Structure 1
Amino acid sequence: MANPLQLRAEVLANHPEGAYHRLVLHAPGVAGRVRPGHFATLAVGGASSSLLLRRAFSILSADPATETVDLVVAARGEGTGELAAGRPGDRLDLIAPLGTPFPLPDTPVSALLVAGGYGSAPLFALGAEIRRRGGQVGFILGAASADRLYGADRARALTQDVLVLTEDGSLGMTGRVTDPLAQAIGAIDATVVYACGPMAMLAAVSGIAGGLGVRCHTAVEEAMACGVGICMTCVLPVVGEDGRSRFVRSCTDGPVFDGARVRWADIGTVPADLEGAAAMGGDR
């Protein structure tokens, strides 16, 4: 797990970008601790609000020189709507960085980075780091519609190998990120896939990559109530190194997992063979 800080971060800018808002936060001491795949949480509503739970966001970028952290916010409800309406000078209760980042290769690799919607946020810093280490990257970015796509220009700044898909055909090819995935893996001779997005997408990407013998690291988008490993609301069934399945916490053991070890079809259930399942009622 990362070594997080909690502080009152100042909103320096709020940039509308398609269906999203990019918040630029001044957060002294945080940026130098951030690695690609880390996330942050923000409190909403104020001390007297009934909105008790923090909201979790992947970290788009972090700049130690300016002590800034960028987060991409989608307004989905009252809490995220409040954050999306943030104005310069506002102060937000931030905890960051959190979670386990993407594992980085020790030698140059060819990596395919796959995202759905604003799940792309943590992949650009990852792509830049892989390039810095002598590797190459390709991107597949998808969304339901053009306004829900995020970061195509950021991807193209890193590589010419960028595929864009929207389900309604409003931008790029019509379809889903899984449609050209196998062909794209072969086109750039990818030896590893990194993915972030909705759970169904991650399950499909993991399956395709695994079928081709390619390692797949997935950053899950699981609801997190606390973000620091206390509440156990974000657990997933994952197969351990010893071959035994256990519930693990997305916020501290993840959000990045080896896609081949996540039991995607069993998420939301208590599998009978899960370690400790009988104590949780799995034998009823």
Structure 2
Amino acid sequence: MLTTRQVDAYHALTVVAPGIAERFRPGHFVSVAVGGSGTSMLTRRAFSVHDVKPDYGGTVEFVFAVNGPGTAWLAERRARDTLDLVGPLGRPFPLPRDPVTCVMVGDEYGSAVLFAVADALQRRGCRVDFVLGGATAGRVFGAMRARRMAETTTLTTGDGSLGMRGGVTDVLPGVIADVRADAVYASGPMETLRGVTAVAVEFDIPVQAAVEERMACGIGVCMTCVLPVIGDDGITRMVRSCVEGPVFRGERVRFDDVGTIPFDAFGAPGGGSRNAG
């Protein structure tokens, strides 16, 4: 059983999945088979979980934009259709032990994953402030909910149709300074995460980033979602977003090298393994 609803430019799909709902932690994602039983679309699609509720035995909601045939098929699902879901998958957001001030930065539908994290932070006594952005007003996800739950909410749009004109990274330094933030939680396109991480590093505060990489299997087998990430030992390794992520410490992800295998990565052709000693 499922329900679908349109949320501005996006689709929100809620599925009854008590097993997933019970084990869910903020930052987890689900892997969904698309196209039906006779489809040629063999790879699954990964979606961050927006909301989990105990209603109807346990429901799971995820948000997506229609970007191709797989998501177009999902957008056409109706009540009583069934979906093949696997989850919860991945590594969730780590939460601070003590009450601190946290800025949640979301771009486009990447914002969806941050609301469950914000709830968990507030339950621990943390202050939460939101910075949300999108290309247009219809592509900013969750502005009303953010305003209800956060101390402050700053909105940006590329065309200036809502909030400040520009991107989330344009306003983030001012927000961090104003609220004296201790940590940043971010989700959105890789380019946004790269910019958000640069700002957090400048302020010398930690940033937890949920990366958006294509994940065909969601369980670490297919290797489509590998990223260059610097380990605790200072060595860069190609790690799988779906298993070691999707949440990483932003400063550990080599955003400039995403899509490549850096020459100094462990096991890379041409010397990475030698450098690792």
TM-score by length of 1: 0.93
Deviation of 1:96 (Å): 1.2
Cα displacement (A) at 1:211 = 1.0
Aligned to 2:33: 43
Equivalent of residue 103 in structure 1, options 94, 107, 114 = 94
Q: Quick one: distance in 2 between partners of 1:87 and 1:54?
A: 19
Q: 1:178 aligns with which of 163, 169, 172?
A: 169
Pair 1:81 & 2:72 matched? yes
Equivalent residue in structure 1 for 2:15, among 6, 18, 25: 25
- Determine the structure 2 residue equivalent to 1:61: 51
Higher strand share: 1
Kept in 2, the 8 Å contact 1:270–1:282? The answer is no
Secondary structure of 2:210's counterpart equals strand
2-structure distance, mates of 1:160, 1:218: 21
Correspondence for 1:225 among 216, 222, 228: 216
1:131 aligns with 2:93: no
Q: Give the 3-state SS of the residue equivalent to 2:19 in structure 1.
A: coil
Cα offset, 1:282, TM superposition = 10
8 A contact 1:23–1:72 mirrored in 2:
yes
* Pairing 1:128-277 to 2, within 5 Å after superposition: 128-277=119-268
User: 1:12-55 CA deviation, whole Å, 9 max, x = no partner?
Assistant: x2111101111111112211111110001110112221110111
Deviation, 1:64, is 3.1
Equivalent residues of 1:39, 1:59 under 8 A apart: yes
Contact 1:272–1:282 under 8 Å retained in 2: no
Structure 2 counterpart SS, 1:218:
strand
Distance 1:222 1:183 in 2: 29
- Larger helix proportion, structure 1 or 2? 2
What is the deviation of 1:189?
Answer: 1.1
CA distance in 1, matches of 2:11, 2:201: 34
Tell me by how many angstroms 1:143 deviates.
Answer: 0.3
In 1, Cα distance between the equivalents of 2:25 and 2:271?
35
Shift of 1:279: 7.3
Taking the aligned partners of 2:254 and 2:211, their CA distance within structure 1 comes to 12
Q: Partner amino acid for 1:35? A: R
Spell out, residue by residue over 1:112-154, the C-alpha distance to the aligned partner (whole angstroms, 9 max, x if none): 0001100011100111111110110100000001111100111
Percent identity between the two aligned chains: 50
Aligned length: 273
C-alpha displacement of 1:160: 3.5
CA distance in 1, matches of 2:201, 2:127: 20
Conservation of the 8 A alpha-carbon contact between 2:27 and 2:91: yes
- CA 277–151 in structure 1, closer or farther in 2 if over 3 Å, else same: same
Secondary structure of 2:118's counterpart equals: helix
**Quick one: distance in 1 between partners of 2:112 and 2:197?**
19
The Cα of 1:157 is off from its aligned counterpart by: 1.8
Aligned mates of 1:118, 1:282 — CA distance in 2: 38
CA distance in 2, matches of 1:179, 1:172: 12
Three-state SS of the structure 2 residue aligned to 1:21 is strand
TM-score, L = length of structure 2: 0.95
CA shift for structure 1 position 281: 10
AA aligned opposite 2:222: C
Residue 280 of structure 1 deviates from its aligned partner by 9.8
CA contact (8 A) 1:73 1:83 kept: no
Q: What are the Cα deviations for residues 140-194 of structure 1, in whole angstroms up to 9, with x where unaligned?
A: 0000011111001111121140001100011111110001111101111111000
Q: Are residues 187 and 274 of structure 1, via their aligned partners in 2, closer, same or farther at CA, if it must alter by over 3 Å? A: same
| Amino acid aligned to 2:188 | G
How big is the alpha-carbon RMSD for the aligned residues of Structure 1 and Structure 2? Answer: 1.5
Question: 1:114 maps to which residue?
Answer: 105
Q: Which residue identity does 1:242 align to in structure 2?
A: D
* Partner Cα separation in structure 1 for residue 264 and residue 169 of structure 2: 30
Aligned residue identity for 2:162: L
| Structure 1 residue matching 2:170: 3-state secondary structure | coil
**How far apart, in 2, do the equivalents of 1:231 and 1:238 lie?**
18
Contact 2:264/2:271 (<8 A) preserved: no
